[in-house]
């Protein structure tokens, strides 16, 4: 798919646990096939902001007729509250659900066609939000990472080491052989 000129997103905001989150709303590109109000919340990686990788996904998905919402998680980017930049998994999941609430307030969004895309660390948060919020009808992750595992092992350890992964899979398989 050829990507046309980037549309300028609309600056919007919404509340998540009474914290004001800064967001960008990307409208479907005119002339693209109708998706009847389908919308996607695009969640940024750890240490990222809405203008980085989420904006790239939003531009492509807007070309494919999706309304897209990108936002800065609480404590990050242009969003409010202190301290700055903590990685709070419970808050990040709440931010996703609050983004869905914002979308359901819009007349141009079909409430039965709301999805979530989590990038990197949000690839772990998005499925949790989808499991606990029936309004989310589709969920995808891109370059997903488990922040909990990464934090437990330390940031300097390579959690994608193939020998480690193979050992983990073998241990998991051995559990099921008991049954």
Q: Render 116-175 in DSSP notation, one character per residue.
A: EEEETTHHHHHHHHHHT-TT--EEEEES---HHHHHHH-TTS-TT-HHHHHHHHHHHHHH
Nearest to 150 by CA among 118, 123, 117, 116: 123
Going along the chain from its start, the domains and CATH numbers come out as: 10-145 (3.40.50.1820)
| Reported pTM | 0.81
pLDDT of the chain, 179 residues: tens digit per residue: 445 555 689 999 999 999 999 999 999 999 888 999 999 999 999 889 999 999 999 999 999 999 999 999 999 999 999 988 888 899 999 999 999 999 999 999 999 999 999 999 899 899 999 999 999 999 999 987 766 666 666 655 555 566 766 676 677 677 666 55
**Phi, psi at 83, each rounded to 5°:** -70, 165
């Amino acid at each position: 798919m050829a990507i046309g000129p980037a549309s300028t997103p609309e600056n919007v905001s919404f509340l998540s646990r009474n914290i004001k989150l800064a967001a960008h709303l990307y409208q479907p590109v005119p002339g693209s096939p109708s998706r009847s109000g389908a919308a996607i919340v695009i969640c940024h990686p750890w240490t990222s902001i809405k203008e980085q990788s989420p904006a790239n996904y939003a531009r492509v998905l807007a070309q494919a007729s999706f309304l897209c919402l990108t936002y800065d998680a609480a404590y990050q980017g242009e969003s409010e509250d202190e301290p700055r930049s903590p990685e709070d998994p419970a808050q990040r999941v709440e931010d996703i659900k609050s983004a869905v609430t914002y979308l359901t307030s819009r007349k141009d969004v079909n409430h039965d066609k709301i999805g979530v895309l989590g990038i990197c660390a949000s690839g772990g948060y998005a499925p949790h939000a989808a499991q606990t919020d029936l309004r989310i009808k589709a969920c995808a992750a891109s370059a997903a990472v488990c922040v909990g595992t990464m934090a437990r092992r330390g940031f300097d350890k390579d959690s994608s080491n193939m020998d480690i992964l193979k050992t983990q899979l073998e241990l998991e398989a051995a559990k099921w052989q008991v049954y």
